[in-house]
Every structure is written in C-alpha cells, then in structure tokens.
C-alpha cells in the first residue's frame, strides 16, 4: 500500500469514524485513527482464517483463562503486519510522532502476572502458527490496580483501560448467553433439570489477534456480564432511582474487576461466580459452534480441544458433563468420558495456599447441579480405580486441582522441574493411577513482542547478521554464536545494549528525577512481590553491599543499579512490607554521597507489560532467585536471556533449562536445590545458624533492626527481621552467603566488558528454544492433536 493511501485512511477514520476535526485532534485521536487503519488490515486475514477453518472442518483449540495480560496492542499489530514504516511515514505527514502515538495506548492489564502473560503469548503464537484457536476470558472493566508509592508504601488505585474508545474489540450482540446461578434441581429419569433462581447475560466482545506476517488471525473472546433486566421500571416510576438501577449494577459486578490476588484462595462467592460465568458462556459457545458444523455430539473431542489455564475454569468439567448428560441426553458415563477427552489442565503452582478449594456449602448454594455432578464424578472415579481412592472433596471442600485432573485428558506442568515435582507431590496419587496423563510443556515467550518489537536495536543487528527468518524460527539465533569472535559484530552487540540502557536512564531521569549511570551494571528483578520470589534476599544483598562499600569506598567496585519492579496483592501484608523496605533502603542508599556513584537502588512504580518492554532490553543481569521448588517456571527469566542478560539464579523452574541451554559458564548459579531446601527446613534454627555463620548477613539485618532505613524507628521493619531470623520458611538466610558469592562473581565478570558481552551473546544465541512457538507446537503434538492450517495452504 502506498504511503499516501495509508495516510488518507488515517485521515478518513479521524473524520468519518471518529468525527474529529484534524485541527483539534489530540495524540489519543491520532492513535485511535491509526489503530482503525491498522485494524482494517487485520479484518481480511481474520475472515480468511475463520473461513479456512470451516472449509477444512478443522479441529479448534479453546484456551480458557481468567487472565489475559495482553498489554498494548497497536505496536504488536503494526509489527506483525509489517506496517512500521508506512505508519511512521503517514503520521509524519500530519506532524505526529509514531512513538508518541504508540506510547499513548493504555496497557490492557487483564491479568496478575505470569499466568496471564503466558496466555497472551500463546494467543500470538497460535496465530503465528496458523492453528484455529479461540482465547476465552472475562472482559474486566477494571484490570489490575494501578500502583503508586506514598512515602515508600504501595497504594492501589483502580485501573481504567476502557475510559477511552477501545477500537480493537467488536461487540457481538448476537453472541450472548444467559448464565444461571443457585436455584433447585429436579430429577427427570436418570438426569436432572436445573432451574437457577438468578441469572445474568454473558455478552461477547471479540478482539482479533494477528500472527506474524499477517498470515492468520484468531479471536480473543471476552465476556461482559449484563443484567437480564435493563432496570426496574416499577421502582423507577416510584421515584426510587438508585434502587431501579440495582439489578443492572449487581449483574455487572461479575465482570467489574480482576481479582488482584495470586496467593490465597480468596473465599469469595464473587470469584466462584466469575469462574462459572465465563466458563459456562465459553462452553455454550463452543458447543453452539460444533452443533452448527457437526451432528454427533459424542465425537466432540475430534474437533474440540479445551485447555484450562490453571483450575480457575475447572468447573468446565462438571458443566460439560451437565450439558452432555442433562441437555444432550448422553448416558452419564459417556458424558464423562466425552468431556474428559476434550479437556486438559495446566498447573501453574504447587504452593498449597494457592491451590483452589471451594466449600461444599458455597458450591451447593451457587451451583447445586454441579455439586451433584462432582459427587458423581468422584464416585465414578472410585469405581474405576477401586484400589486407591482420591477423593475430590475432603474437609467439606471441593479440591479443584483434583477435579481438573480427573476430568482431563492431559495434565501439564510448565517446566521440567515443576512437572517432576507435580508427579512427586500434589498429584502423586493421581499420577500413580494415571501414569501417562501428566506431561511437561516448558513455557515460552513470543519473540515478536519480547525481542523484535521491544528491542529494535538488537533485532536490527540480528537481522543484518542472519536475516529475518529468526522471527518465527527462533532457534536460528544459534547462528549468532559464530559471531562471538567478530569484533565488529561484538561492538554493535555491545552498543545496542549500551543505547538501550541510556534510553532507560533518560526515561528514568525524566520521570523520577534520578540519574542512572548507563556504564553501571543494570541488575533487574521484575515480577510479583512474593516471599518465595525473595525480593528481600535481593535487598538484603544491597544493604550488605552498601555497608561493604562504605567500609572500603576506594576499592575497585563494579558500579550497580539495582532495579526492582512489581506489585503486591493488596491483602498480602508481608509483601507490602518488602516493598516498603526496598523503597526505604533506596532512599538512604541513593542519598549517600560516599556510595551513590557505585550503588543505586530504584523502584519505578506500576510495573506492567509496557514497563517490562522498557526494562528487559536494558538489563545486564536477570534476578531469578526464588526458593528452589517454588517457582513453577518463570517466563521473565526467558525474556532476559533472549535479550542478552545472564541470570543470577537458583535451580528453580525453567532456570534449570535455561542454564542447560546457555551453558553453566554463562549463568551465575547459587543456592540450595529443591531437595536441599526440603532437608534444610528440618534443621532446627536454620535461619539463626545461617545468620551466625555470615557476619555480612548479620550486619545487614542489624542495620534494619537499628532503624537505619526508618529514621531510627526500630519497630518499622520488625516483622521482616523477625521472620528472617525466625521461621524463614523461604530460606532467605540459608541461601544468602552463596548468593553474595555469586553476585561478586558477576561483579568481576562484568568488569571484563569483552568477556561479559560474550556471555550475554551466548544467552541470546542459545535461548531460541524458549519461543512460545516451540511451546505451542508441543501442546499441539502432545495434548491437542491440532494442526497448523497455514502449513497446508
Ligand atoms: C486464585 C484464587 C483466587 C484469586 C486469585 C487466584 C490466582 C490468581 C492468579 C491464583 C494464581 C494466579 C497466578 C499464578 C501465576 O501467575 N503463576 C505463574 O505462572 C507462570 C506461567 O506458567 C509461571 O511461569 C510462574 O512460575 C507462576 O508463578
């Protein structure tokens, strides 16, 4: 398309789709007009994809997830459609900067962290690979809260991504389902009739997800809850205006806000309602589409593969059985077998407190028919496996992990280590009964967003060196290894990182008023704040380092900037204390004239996908320091490695596989293994012993206790000090000494810039396996039995 035509299309949309006079258009208006123009380029491939799927009667993959952490969409679409130069040139004609337009888009944060971001990477890879697929989730009016710091403490404010026109979605008024709750069950022969006493409407909104090179587009279908009645006219006419709007307001609460908790099983009725709401609507939609195309419902699994992203949609098991048995008339056992062939479950955590359980009372009250079916599933499972029984409910609770497992064809973990631990721990008994059901699918990340678009400098160098095929064949990066001895290439590789760091420093100075030295090592830890992720281990090391530098200021220190990013669940008190401590340490350390040239601690507010895209390309060192056995996989770790930041990390999650691939010599390993962690917990006073054995750790804790970071207030961080010197469940103290050692090794390595650049390059060159394209191929082959349709075209 010629540049003029592209510009004309923008002008046309501004005027006729948006009713804006270009004279008065703001940056948001230009951004939306550009989005509408780009969107026009998506529609044809989108329709073609749907038609090809129907024409070939292909199997479809359905990815059910409570969370899709998609971030901004415009740049992704422009990059995948190859429209960057056109868009840039066209906006210039109007005197508008493309960068500013891209930066104006709100970041869609319909997720908490890794699980939600994984779902977003998977959607993009499914489209890139040309697999017929739908993502199904909830269209939250408010995504993850906005984080700010007030005097160092986290403050939450509502997120409002839908304040401006959101032109990426199409509302489908014809796709709406009534979803019931509560009520009664009447028996009818062998099956039952459920009559709910409360109902809401699930209204579909579709967002096309375009794959690389615009070859294929799938749909993300998000459900919005609406009232079945518009408003109560009688109450309105009686003058009760607030009361009249109540049914509408009440129904809408289901899709009002994303649960910001990723630790505790919130015992909330609303959460269970959200789960059933989107799962039931999605299943109805899936079956409607199947019925339109095929006759024999018992063959559903030939054409339908459903992936449950954790247990949040696990009610899909009983709901699908209910539809097949109560509504479609299959015998109960046939209904159960049919559902099992369609469903698959991904586990993302082994932390006991994060495994979902619902009380039998709540389940019976909200979903009475489903509770009966859960009992029947349990009985059927017991009958089939009489020797060992695994009950789906004990202590009057329904265990959603067990339910998802029993109702799944395949169950998967998200890294080799995690899958192994699943078999040995939470699902030990079920694994013994169903030895082939658990499979591993190590996570991956989309290289289009996390390299091509987030790191244009490095991408350009890669494409200049090995061509552009790496973009959808990431293992081609291996060819970069041969460049390690080419001085010209290494100079450009180093320059790309230096320029990314300078850009980050400029942004930080402009937004936070603090200067960062781009020559220093940028040491980055970005992820949700959690005790098991051990941000407190990192900040303790910062304190110890600060003290060490103060004691010997003229030594040859490797300058470091420690960068933190991440949100704490609003109800997670200890995580919020860690944030407060990091900010308090930053304030003291950054103001110290003796040390501030070689050590800074910074914590930009409101970490999100957009900030990750800024930080990762500028990182020198990737902090992946969780207690071994606790991080299911990690995906940030992969993004850093790909962008040339070696890891300092434990043998946890996918770190293990990263180290195997990039080479032990290009990874700063420290800490106990998962087995050693279990053994160490048995040692009496393990924390006290570790502190006694390491004077640096002792001093660091003493400084906190003395009030050095709290204006002399000795009580402020009492809970942290008490935890770390007491129970210390996540073994921060026991891993400290080895962490310190690994960090000093990183310091020395960084001082040799040439050698460091080679380590970084090996991380880039050997991380191609961590593409989510590889992960999706694994799911296609081992779990879904789905095919790439573009591969046949
Ligand atoms: C549960 C009940 C009630 C409210 C909220 C929740 C809830 C919400 C989100 C529970 C868990 C989550 C998110 C978990 C998560 O993000 N896990 C991460 O998944 C990544 C993708 O597989 C892994 O890489 C990370 O290791 C894992 O922590």
Question: How much is the pTM?
Answer: 0.98
Residue range 308-345, pLDDT digits in tens: 999 999 999 999 999 999 999 999 999 999 999 999 99
Distance 348 CA to ligand 1 centre (A): 6
What is the structure's pLDDT at 191?
82
* Rounded Cα gap, residues 651 and 538, in angstroms: 16
CA of 360 to the centre of ligand 1 (A): 24
Instruction: Write the pLDDT tens digit of every residue in 267-319.
Output: 589 999 999 999 999 999 999 999 999 999 999 999 999 999 999 999 999 99
Q: Does 635 participate in catalysis according to the annotation?
A: yes
- Residue with CA nearest ligand 1 atom 25: 634
Which atom of ligand 1 is nearest to 634's Cα? Answer: 24
Confidence at residue 123, expressed as pLDDT on a 0 to 100 scale: 98
Ligand 1 within 6 A of CB of 265: yes
- Of 116, 348, 416, 778, the one to substitute when testing ligand 1's pocket (max ligand atoms within 8 A of C-beta) is 348
- The whole-angstrom separation of Cα 774 and Cα 768 is 9
HEC string for 607-656: CCHHHHHHHHHHCCEEEECCCCCCCCCCCHHHHHHHCCCCEEECCCCCHH
Question: Is 271's C-beta closer than 6 angstroms to any atom of ligand 1?
Answer: yes
Residue 390 C-alpha from the chain's centroid: 31
Token digits of residue 359: 């009380």
348 pocket-lining for ligand 1 (C-beta < 6 Å): yes
Ligand 1: does its nearest atom lie under 6 Å from the Cβ of 261?
Answer: yes
Kindly give the number of the ligand 1 atom that is closest to the alpha carbon of 261: 5
The response to whether residue 375 sits with its C-beta less than 6 Å from ligand 1 reads: no
pLDDT (tens digit per residue) in 401-458: 999 999 999 999 999 999 999 999 999 999 999 999 999 999 999 999 999 999 999 9
- Distance from Cα 361 to the centre of ligand 1, integer Å: 25
Of 170, 32, 192, residue with least CA distance to 104: 32
- Ranges of the chain whose pLDDT falls below 70: 262-267, 387-390, 792-793
Mutate which of 68, 115, 116 for ligand 1? The one with the most ligand atoms within 8 Å of its CB, which is 115
Task: Name the catalytic one among 322, 528, 600, 716.
Answer: 528
| CB-based contact 192:368 (threshold 8 Å) | no
Non-local CB neighbours of 166 within 8 Å, separated by 6+ positions: none
Regarding the beta carbon of 88 and ligand 1, being less than 6 Å apart is answered no
533 catalytically annotated: yes
115 CA to middle of ligand 1, Å? 5
- Other C-beta atoms closer than 10 Å to the C-beta of 636 total 25
Cα of 443 to ligand 1 centre, how many Å? 13
Kindly give the number of the ligand 1 atom that is closest to the alpha carbon of 346: 22
Distance 113 CA to ligand 1 centre (A): 7
Q: Is the CB of 351 under 6 A from ligand 1?
A: no
Pair of tokens at residue 73: 């969409």
Nearest Cα residue to atom 13 of ligand 1: 262
- Centre of ligand 1 to C-alpha 503, Å, is 32
Output the residue whose Cα is nearest ligand 1's atom 12.
Answer: 262
348 is catalytic: yes
Nearest CA to ligand 1 atom 15: 115
* CA of 631, closest atom in ligand 1: 26
Residue 232, classed as helix, strand or coil, is: coil
Task: Say which residues have a Cβ less than 8 Å from residue 3's Cβ, sequence separation at least 6.
Answer: 86, 89, 90, 93
229 is catalytic: no
747 lines ligand 1 (CB under 6 A): no
Q: What is the 3-state secondary structure (H, E, C) of 404-471?
A: HHHCCCEEEECCHHHHHHHHHCCCHHHHHHCCCCEEECCCCECHHHHHHHCCHHHHHHHHHHHCCHHH
Q: What pLDDT does 213 receive?
A: 98
pLDDT of the residue at 233: 87
Annotated catalytic residue, options 13, 527, 534, 600: 527
**Token reading at 666:** 């290009």
C-alpha 474 to ligand 1 mean position (Å)? 27
Pocket test for ligand 1, best of 109, 110, 111, 113 (most atoms within 8 A of CB): 113
The residue annotated as part of the active site, out of 221, 501, 533, 562, is 533
Q: Is the CB of 638 under 6 A from ligand 1?
A: no
Provide φ and ψ at 228, rounded to 5°. Answer: -75, -25
- Rounded distance between C-alpha atoms, residue 234 and residue 241, angstroms: 10
Which of 349, 351, 609, 650 to mutate for ligand 1's pocket (most ligand atoms within 8 Å of CB)? 349
pLDDT at res. 268 = 82
Q: Which of 635, 708, 764, 775 is catalytic?
A: 635
pLDDT of residue 392: 75
pLDDT at 190: 79
Q: Which atom of ligand 1 is nearest to the CA of 112?
A: 9
Q: Are 630 and 586 in contact (CB under 8 A)?
A: no
């Amino acid at each position: 398309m010629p540049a003029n035509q592209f510009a004309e299309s923008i002008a046309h949309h501004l005027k006729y789709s948006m009713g804006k006079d270009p004279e008065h258009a703001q940056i948001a208006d230009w951004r939306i007009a550009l989005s509408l123009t780009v969107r026009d380029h998506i529609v044809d491939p989108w329709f073609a994809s749907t038609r090809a799927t129907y024409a070939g009667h292909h199997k479809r993959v359905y990815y059910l997830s409570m969370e899709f952490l998609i971030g901004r969409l415009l740049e992704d679409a422009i990059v995948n459609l190859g429209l960057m130069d056109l868009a840039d040139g066209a906006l210039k004609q109007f005197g508008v900067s493309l960068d500013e337009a891209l930066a104006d888009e709100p970041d869609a944060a319909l997720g908490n962290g890794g699980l939600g971001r994984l779902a977003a990477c998977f959607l993009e890879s499914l489209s890139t690979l040309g697999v017929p697929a739908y993502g199904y989730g909830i269209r939250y009016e408010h995504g993850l809260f906005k984080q700010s710091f007030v005097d160092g403490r986290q403050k939450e404010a509502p997120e409002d991504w839908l304040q401006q026109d959101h032109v990426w979605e199409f509302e489908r008024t014809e796709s709406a389902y009534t979803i019931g709750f509560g009520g009664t069950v009447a028996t009818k022969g062998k099956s039952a009739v459920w009559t709910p006493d409360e109902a809401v409407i699930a209204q579909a909104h579709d967002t096309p997800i375009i794959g690389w090179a615009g070859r294929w587009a799938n749909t993300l279908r998000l459900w919005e809850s609406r009232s079945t009645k518009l408003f109560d006219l009688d109450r309105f006419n009686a003058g009760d205006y607030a009361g009249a709007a109540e049914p509408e307001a009440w129904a809408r609460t289901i899709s009002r806000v994303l649960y910001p908790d990723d630790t505790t099983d919130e015992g909330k009725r609303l959460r269970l309602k959200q789960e059933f709401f989107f799962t039931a609507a999605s299943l109805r939609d899936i079956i409607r589409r199947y019925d339109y195309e095929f006759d024999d419902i018992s063959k559903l699994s030939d054409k339908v593969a459903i992936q449950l992203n954790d247990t949040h949609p696990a009610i899909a098991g009983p709901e699908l059985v209910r539809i097949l048995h109560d509504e479609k008339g299959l015998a109960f056992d046939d209904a159960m077998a049919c559902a099992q062939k369609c469903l698959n479950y991904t586990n993302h955590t082994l932390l006991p407190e994060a495994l979902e359980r619902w009380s039998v009372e709540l389940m019976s009250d909200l979903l009475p028919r489903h509770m009966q079916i859960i009992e029947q599933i349990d009985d059927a499972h017991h009958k089939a496996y009489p020797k060992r029984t695994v009950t789906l409910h004990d202590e009057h609770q329904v265990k959603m992990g067990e339910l998802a497992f029993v109702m799944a064809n395949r169950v998967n973990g998200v890294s080799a280590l995690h899958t192994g631990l699943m078999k040995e721990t939470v699902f030990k008994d079920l694994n013994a009964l169903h030895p082939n059901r658990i499979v591993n699918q190590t996570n991956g990340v989309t290289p289009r967003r996390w390299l091509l678009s987030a790191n244009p400098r490095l991408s350009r160098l890669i494409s200049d060196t090995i061509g552009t095929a790496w973009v959808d064949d990431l293992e081609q990066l291996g060819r970069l290894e041969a460049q390690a001895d080419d001085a010209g290439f290494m100079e450009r590789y180093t320059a790309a990182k230096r320029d990314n760091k300078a850009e980050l420093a400029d942004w930080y100075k402009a937004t936070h008023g603090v200067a960062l030295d781009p020559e220093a090592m940028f040491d980055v830890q970005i992820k949700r704040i959690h005790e098991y992720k051990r941000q407190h281990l990192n900040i303790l090391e910062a304190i110890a380092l600060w003290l060490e530098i103060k004691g010997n200021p003229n030594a040859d220190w490797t300058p470091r900037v420690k960068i933190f990013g991440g949100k704490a669940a609003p109800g997670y008190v200890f995580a919020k204390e860690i944030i407060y401590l990091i900010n308090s340490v930053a304030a003291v350390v950054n103001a110290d004239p003796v040390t501030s040239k070689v050590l800074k601690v910074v914590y930009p507010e409101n970490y999100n996908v957009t900030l990750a895209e800024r930080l990762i390309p500028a990182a020198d060192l990737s902090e992946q320091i969780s207690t071994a056995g606790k991080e299911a996989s990690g995906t940030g770790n992969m993004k850093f490695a790909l962008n040339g930041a070696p890891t300092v990390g434990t043998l946890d999650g996918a770190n293990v596989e990263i180290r195997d691939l990039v080479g032990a010599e290009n990874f700063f390993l420290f800490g106990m293994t998962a087995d050693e962690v279990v053994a160490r917990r048995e040692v009496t006073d393990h924390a006290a012993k570790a502190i006694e054995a390491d004077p640096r750790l002792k001093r660091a804790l003493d400084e906190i206790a003395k009030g050095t970071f709290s204006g002399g207030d000795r009580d402020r961080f009492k809970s942290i000090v008490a935890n770390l010197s007491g129970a210390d469940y996540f073994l921060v103290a026991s891993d400290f000494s080895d962490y310190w050692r690994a960090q000093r090794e990183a310091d020395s390595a960084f001082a040799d810039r040439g050698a460091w650049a080679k380590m970084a390059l090996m991380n880039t060159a050997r991380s191609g396996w961590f593409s989510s394209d590889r992960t999706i191929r694994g799911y296609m082959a081992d779990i879904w039995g789905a095919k790439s349709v573009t591969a046949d075209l």
